[in-house]
Structures are given as structure tokens and as C-alpha cells.
Structure 1
Amino acid sequence: MRVTLYHTNDIHSHLDAFMSISAYMAEHRPQLDHPSLYVDIGDHIDLSLPVTEGTMGKRNVQLLNEAQCDIVTIGNNEGMTMAHDALNTLYDDARFTVTCANVFDVKGQLPNHFVQAHIREIEGVRFLFVGVTAAFTPFYRALDWVVTDPLAAIQDEVKRYAGAYDILIVLSHVGIFFDEQLCEVLPEADVILGAHTHHHFLEGKMVNGVLMAAAGKYGHFLGEVTLDIENKQIVNKQAILHPLETLPKVSTYFDEEGRQLLDQPVVSQAMTLQRETNFITQASYELAKSIHEFIGADCTIINAGLMVTGYQDKVLTEYDIHQMLPHPINTVRAKVSGRTLKEILLTAREQTYMYERAQGLGFRGDVFGGYILYDAGYIASSNRYFIKGEEIEDDKIYVLGTVDMYTFGRYFPMLKGQKMEYLMPEFLRDIFKAHLQRS
């Protein structure tokens, strides 16, 4: 018997590309002379696309239904960028199975419509699918979810279903390094379909007898794994990728759809919001102020590149605010010593990333831009630092307001390990919109 597994991952709401993938499967799956499944390994949803934001991910679910998806797991974008109730209702209309073994509510219950593992029988062969997602603990806790260790979660499910399955398929939205480790500690896995780190393997990668397959990001590839099975065991397994440029071209109208969904005005009078990345504008200053007030901070730091577009004399709509701040980025209330705060301000003074193109960590802009300080300053000649006009004391604890992308170590390494609170689910656009409406 032969079984084909089509797989996608990290589409991130690049729905134009996804429609080409869907069209290819609609044409080719019926032509197969053997069974097939289509699985998605998470981060299909990204609220940086207006139509995804306007439907809170349900348009993505509809498209997965139309693509005759069979099984999915969730990524951090499904798990961490949506409010608790939004994730609980996301899959209400799904016609596919959602498996994730390591996300629970505070009472130990799975999100609605989730299963920890799923057995799919095909011509008498029992396939066990186990999905896991990356354990970003503080973010999940801020949304009243508990995320557990993905390795332990997989091992628990394998033990639970011992003797009840023939072939083990892991859907891993944890990253390539985790997957490589999993190959070593769980050699009984037949295939690991990977995601999260946006890696891809043109012909798969075999590690310790386990086939790793992954399809990159943004719909750049459709993955296809072929399994040849005899006596309920795999005797041959192969992986290939179909590049997007080889797939059917499809006309889509997602931008127009999103614009209509988010067409409601958010202010009553026309506004001008200038966007610049290498100096502070009134608009970027107001963005910093809105975050500062939302957090209740002693001082706040953001980067100008967070503001992706500007407007001239326009009555702003939900769509406009979304286009200005499309990031799935949350704010952070960090408690730091004056000594650490001085290090942060010194690093900001250097403006290392002002002209650099940035990506990842939730950032959906292009140029990083210069740092903007609110209620903080310094005298460079004497190396003195101030908050609200008062000199910073080394041993005093201050509340720093900032964005979550600074807490992962790249921009401000000294923030790692500091006491901090992630404020969720509000995004920057939610905070700025409320500020504009109050002004």
C-alpha cells in the first residue's frame, strides 16, 4: 500500500500562495491511485493580514476546509496572538482534526475541538498523529493557557497509545533543533513534519531512521511525503517539495475582502500621521506615549520602524490602523534596576539597527528604525541618565515599558532573565487606536 502525505507549515496568512497550493492539491489528489492526507503544521494564521484579523482566523479555517485538510496542529500564531476565547472558538466550523498535546487551560482541559493525538486508519493501517507546539510559557500564561514540554507530551501520547497504532507521524511546530533531538530520543517515529523555524528540506532529511520533512514558510513550497507500507510497516519513505512557482496561478481578492471587513472609521476627524524611521515624528511619539500610558511605566522605549505606514489628512479606519501597525506584537512591563536600565539606554543610544532591515520576532515592517524614548533621557557628555528629569539610581527598581520583540535577546540581551509581565492580548494597533480615540 502507498500513502501520500501533503503538508504545509508557516503559511502566515500568505493566502495568495496558499490558494495556489490548494489548487494543485485539488487537481492532483483525485488523480492518485492510492490514499492521501493533507496536514498543516501550524502558523497558517497571521493577524497581520486584514482578512485574517477581520475574521479572527476563521477565513483561514474556511480555506483549510476548502482545501480538504485532514489534520492540523497549532503554531505560536494560533496559540499566542489570539485571545483565549478566540482560540476556543477558532475551529468551531473546522472539518478537520486539530491535534496538540501540550496546550491546556488552567483547569487542565484542552482548547475546544482539540485532541491530544489522533488515530486515522487507512486500509487497515493505523496512523497515530501527535501534534505539539513551541512552549512559550510566559505568553501562554498571560492568555490563561498552560503549555507543557513538547517532548514529554509526545512521549506520553506514544505511551498512551502503545499497541494501538502501526505508524507514528509527529506534527512538530517546535523547530528544527527540537526535531533533530526527537529523532534521537524517539526513533520509533516514522515521520516528523516540522515547522516554526521556517526550514525546508528539498528531499527530506533522514536522522536515526526518522524522516524529517518541512516546507519552509509563506507557502513557498508544498511538501509531499510518500510512504510505501507492507505488513503495516513502512518499507520506503521519501519526501519532495513542490516550489510555489511550479503551482497553478490563482486570482485572489483577499486584500479587498480585508479592506471591506475593516472599513469602520475609528476617529471622527481627518488626521495626519507622518511615518519616518530615522527621526521622531509626532505620530511615533504618540505611539510611544500610548504604550507608556497603557503599561503604566516609568519610561518607555520602542523603535520607529514599528509604524509601517503614515497618512495625510485622512479619517482613519480599522484597516488604516491595521496597515500602520500590522505586527502581532504585545507590550511588556519589565521591572529592572537602575543599573540595568542605564545599560538599556546606553544600548539604545548607539542606534545600531536604525537603518537595518528587520524580520521575525513578530515584526511585520521593513526597516527597524531608531529608538524612541518616552520619559527617559541622557546627557551623553557626562554619561548621565534620567527618568522624568530625575537621575537614575543604580539600586532603585523601575518599570520599563517596551515591546515583546526586545525580550528575546537580540536587541537588548540584558533584558533576558529580568522580571517582566507580558500584556496580552492587546496588540500595538489596539493600544494606539484607543489612544487616538481618547485624544
Structure 2
Amino acid sequence: MKLTIYHTNDIHSHLHEYARITKYLAQERPKLQHPSLYLDIGDHVDLSAPVTEATMGLKNVELLNESHCDIATIGNNEGMTISHDALNTLYDQATFDVTCANVFDEQGRLPRNIVPSVIKVIEDTRILFVAATAPFTPFYRALDWVVTDPLEAIKDEIYTHSGEYDVLVVMSHVGVFFDEKLCQEIPEIDLILGSHTHHYFENGEVQNGVLMAAAGKYGNYLGEVTLDIENHKVIGKSATIYPVDTLPEVETNYEAEGKTLLSDAVIDHPVRLPRRTNMISETAYMLAESVFEFTNADCSIINAGLIVKGIDADCVTEYDIHQMLPHPINMVRIRLSGQALKQVIIKSQKQEYIHEHAQGLGFRGDIFGGYILYNLGFIESESRYFINGEEIENDQTYILGTVDMYTFGRYFPTLKEHAIDYLMPEFLRDIFKEKLLEY
């Protein structure tokens, strides 16, 4: 038997590219003279797309249905950027199986409509599909989910179904380094479909006899794996990817659809808030103030590039605010000493990233921009630092309100060493909308 497995990952709501993939699958799968499956390996949802934001990912599930998806797993975007209740209802209308073995509620139950693994029988061959997602523990806990160790979850699920399958496929939304570890730890895996780190393999990669396949990000590629199976065992396997530019072109209107869905007026009077990334603007200062107020902190810090688009309108809609702050970024409260806070201030004033093209960590803009400090001051020549006009004491504990992307070690490496409270599920745009109501 020959089995073709098509796979996508990390679409991140790039729905035009995904529409091209869908059209290709609709054209090519019926031509095959053997069975086929289509799997998505997570992060299909990304609330930076207006239509995804407006539907809380339900549009993405609708599109997966239309693509005749057979099995999907969740990535961190499905697991962490929508509320607990939204994840529980996300797949209510799914016509495909959804599997993930390492995310539970506080009663030890998987999210609704999600199962720990899937066994499909194709021409008498039993194929076990096991999936796991990246363990961003603080974020999941803030949403009342418990995320367990993905390696142990996969091993447990394989052990649970010992003797019940012939072929083993792992759907990993944990990243390429984890997948390489899987190859060494569980060499009986026939195929790993990888994601999360946005890597791709043009022709797959074999380690310790395990074939790894991955299809990049944003719908840039569609992956295809061919398994040759005899006597219920894989005797040959190969992988390739198809660049989206080689797939059929289509016309889509997802942006217009999202704009319509987000057309409700938030403010019915003129608002003029321009974007400036290299200076302190009214817009950036308001955003820093909104973070300060929402986190109930002593001070706050943001970067001006978080504002992706200014507002110049006589009536401000939900769409306008979404375009201004499209990031799936949450606020955090960080408890740190005065000495540590001084180091943050000093580092911020170097403005190392003011002109940098930034990506990742939830950032959905282009230029990082300069840092904006709120309720913080300093006299550089005297090495004196102030909160609310009072000098910062080295041994006193302060609360810094800021954005979660600063806690991952890229911009302020020391912050991840301190006590951090992740405030979820509100995004920057949610709290700024409330601030705009005062404008």
C-alpha cells in the first residue's frame, strides 16, 4: 500500500496562501490511485488576522473543514491566544479529528473535542497519530490549563496503545530540536511532522531511522510525505514540499470580510493618533500609560514599534484598533528590586533596537522602535533614578508593568529571572481600546 500524507503547519492565519493550498488539495487528492490524508500541525489560528480575531478562530476551523482536513493538533496560538472557553468551543463544528496529549484543565480533562491520540485504519493497517504542543507553562496556567512535558506525554500515549497500531506518526508542535530528541528517544517512530520553529525540509530529514518533515510557516509551503507499507510495516518513506508560488492562484476577500466583521464603532468622534517609532509620541505615551494602569504597576515600559499603524479617523472601529495593535501580546507584572529596575532603565536608554526589523515573540510589527518609560525618570549624569518623583531604593521591591515579549530573554535577559505574573487573555489592543474611550 502507498499512503500520501499532506501536511501544513504554522499557517498563522495567512488565509490567502492557505486558500491556494486548499485548491491544490482539492485538485490533486482525487487524482491519486491510493489513500491520502491531510494533517495540520498547529498554529493555524493567529488573531493578528482580522477575520480570525472577529471569529475567535472559528473561520480557521471552517477553512480546515473545507480543505477536508483529517487530523489537526493545536499550537501555542490555539492554546494561549484565545480564552479557556474559546478553546473549549473552537472545534465544536470541526469535521476532522483534533488531538493533543499534553494540555488539560485543572480536573485533568483535555479541552473539549480534543482526544489524546487517533488511530486510523487504512487498508487494514493501523496508524497511530500522537500529538503534543510546546509547554509554555506560565501562559497556560494563566488560562487555567495545565501543560505537561511533551516527551513524557507522547511516550505515555504510545505505551497506552502498545499492540494496537502498526505505523506510528507524531504530530509535534514543539520544535525541531525536540523532534531531533524524539528521533533518538523513540526510534520506532515512522514519521514526525514538525512545526513551531517554522523550519522546513525540502526532502525531509532522516535521523536514527525516523523521517522528519516540516513545511515552514505562513503557508509558504505544502508538505507531502509518501509512505510505502507492506505487511503493515513501512518499507519506504520520502518527503517533499511545494512552494506556494507553484500552487493554483485564487481570489480571496478575507481582509474585507474581517473588516466588515470588526466594523462596530468604538469611538464616534475624531481621533488623531499618529505612529512614530523613533520618538515619544502621544500615541506611544498613551499606550505606556494604559499598560501602567492595567497592570496596576509602579511603572511601565514599552517599545514604540508596538504601534503598527496610527489612527486618523472621524469614527474609530474595532478594525482600526486591531490594525493599530495586531499583536497576540499580553501584559505582565514583574516584581524586581530597585537595583534590577535601574539596570532595565540603563539598558533601555541604549536604544539598541530602535531601528531594528523585529520578528517573533508575538510581535506583529516591523520596526521595533524606541523604548517609552512611564512614571520613571532619571538624571543620567548623576546616576539617579526615580519612580513617581521619588528616588529608587536599591533594596526596595517594585512592580514593573510591561509586555510578555520582554520576558523571553531577547531584549531584557535579566527579566526572565524575576517573579512574573502573566495577565491573560487580554491583549494590548484590548486594554488600549479602554484607554481610547477616555480620549
Structure 1 length as normaliser, TM-score? 0.99
Name 2:15's counterpart in structure 1. 15
- Given that 1:100 and 1:114 are in contact with CA atoms closer than 8 Å, whether structure 2 keeps it comes out as yes
CA contact (8 A) 1:280 1:372 kept: yes
Alignment-derived partner of residue 92 in structure 2: 92
Q: Secondary structure at the match of 1:135?
A: coil
Query: Alpha-carbon deviation of 1:438?
Result: 3.7
Moved more, 320-329 or 410-419: 410-419
Structure 2 counterpart of 1:379, one-letter code:
I
Task: Tell me if 1:435 matches 2:405.
Answer: no
Query: For residues 291-320 of structure 1, what are the alpha-carbon distances to aligned partners after superposition, in whole Å with 9 as ceiling and x for unaligned?
Result: 100000000000000000112243110000
Deviations 1:362-394 (A, max 9, x none): 000000000000000111111111111111111
1:123-202 aligned within 5 A: 123-202=123-202
Aligned residue number for residue 69 of structure 1: 69
Partners of 1:179 and 1:248 in 2: how far apart?
31
Which residue number in structure 2 is paired with residue 306 of structure 1? 306
Question: Which amino acid in the other structure matches residue 406 of structure 1?
Answer: Y
Distance in 1, Cα, partners of 2:395 & 2:380: 21
For 1:329, the equivalent position in structure 2 comes to 329
1:232 is aligned to 232
| Aligned length, in residue pairs | 439
SS in 2 for 1:416: helix
After superposing the two structures, state which structure 1 stretch, 123-132 or 383-392, moved more: 383-392
Pair 1:375-2:394 in alignment? no
- Counterpart amino acid of residue 379 in structure 2: I
Give the secondary structure class of the aligned counterpart of 1:93.
Answer: coil
In the other structure, the counterpart of 1:415 is 415
Distance (whole Å) between structure 2 residues aligned to residue 28 and residue 197 of structure 1: 28
CA contact (8 A) 2:268 2:314 kept: no
* 2:405 corresponding residue in structure 1: 405
- 1:221–1:244 contact (8 Å) kept in structure 2: yes
Tell me the SS of whatever aligns to 2:183: helix
What is the CA-CA distance between 1:283 and the residue it aligns to? Answer: 1.1
Alpha-carbon distance between aligned partners in 2 of 1:306 and 1:416, rounded to the nearest angstrom: 20
CA deviation map 1:311-356 (0-9, x unaligned):
2243110000000000000000000011110111111010000000
Counterparts in 2 of 1:326-365, with a 5 A limit? 326-365=326-365
Hey, what's the Cα distance between the residues in 2 that align with 1:224 and 1:316? 44
Deviations 1:153-185 (A, max 9, x none): 000000000000000000000000000000000
Q: Which amino acid aligns with 1:396?
A: Q
CA contact 1:5–1:36 (8 Å) conserved in 2 = yes
What is the distance in 2 between the residues matched to 1:262 and 1:21?
A: 26
Q: Secondary structure at the match of 2:266?
A: coil
Q: Secondary structure at the match of 2:86?
A: helix
Structure 1: which 5+ residue stretches go unaligned?
none
Residue 274 of structure 2 aligns to which amino acid in structure 1? Q
Equivalent-residue separation in structure 1 for 2:371 and 2:155 (angstroms): 45
| Deviations 1:388-424, CA, capped at 9 Å, x for gaps | 1111111100000000000000100010121010000
Tell me the amino acid that sits aligned with residue 95 of structure 2.
R
Does the 8 Å CA contact 2:353/2:369 hold for their aligned counterparts? Answer: yes
Q: In structure 1, how many angstroms separate the alpha carbons of the residues matched to 2:131 and 2:215?
A: 16
Shift of 1:268: 2.3
Give the letter for the 2:321 counterpart: I
Quote the residue 1:31 is aligned against.
Answer: 31
Question: Structure 2 CA distance, aligned partners of 1:57 and 1:421?
Answer: 26
Partner residue, 1:42: 42
Counterpart residue identity of residue 375, structure 1: N
Question: Equivalents in 1 of 2:216, 2:135: separation in Å?
Answer: 20
The reply on whether 1:213 has 2:213 as its aligned counterpart is yes
- Secondary structure of 1:424's counterpart equals strand
Q: Which amino acid aligns with 1:432?
A: F
Hey, what's the Cα distance between the residues in 1 that align with 2:417 and 2:136? 14
Alignment partners' CA distance in 1, 2:341 and 2:50:
36
Q: Deviations over 1:266-311 (max 9, x none)?
A: 1121111111000011111011111100000000000000000112
Distance 2:372 2:234 in 1: 57
Q: Distance in 2 between matches of 1:375 and 1:60?
A: 41
CA offset digits 1:200-238 (Å, max 9, x no partner): 000000000000000000001000000000000000000
Q: Is the 8 A contact 1:343 1:414 kept in 2?
A: no
Letter matched to residue 16 of structure 1: H
Gaps spanning 5+ residues in structure 2: where?
A: none
Does the CA-based 8 Å contact 2:13-2:44 persist in structure 1? yes
Distance (Å, rounded) in 1 between the aligned partners of 2:291 and 2:336? 18
The residue number in structure 2 matching 1:426 is: 426
Matches of 2:206 and 2:183, distance apart in 1: 9
Provide the C-alpha distance between the structure 2 equivalents of 1:338 and 1:122, rounded to a whole number of angstroms: 63
Paired letter, 1:352:
E
Matched, 1:114 2:136: no
* Alignment RMSD (CA, Å): 0.6
In 1, the alpha carbon distance for the partners of 2:77 and 2:159 equals 29
CA distance in 1, matches of 2:182, 2:337: 39
CA–CA distance in structure 2, aligned partners of residues 136 and 337 of structure 1: 25
TM-score (norm 2): 0.99
CA contact (8 A) 2:297 2:400 kept: yes
Tell me which residue corresponds to 2:286: 286
Please say if residues 302 and 402 of structure 1, whose CA atoms lie closer than 8 Å, have aligned partners that are also in contact: yes
- Quote the Cα distance in structure 1 between the aligned partners of 2:433 and 2:311: 14
Q: Distance in 1 between matches of 2:383 and 2:354?
A: 21
Residues of 1 paired with 2:314 and 2:10: CA distance? 35
Would you say the 8 A contact 1:301–1:371 is kept in 2? Answer: yes
| 3-state SS of 2:422 partner | strand
Amino acid aligned to 1:283: T
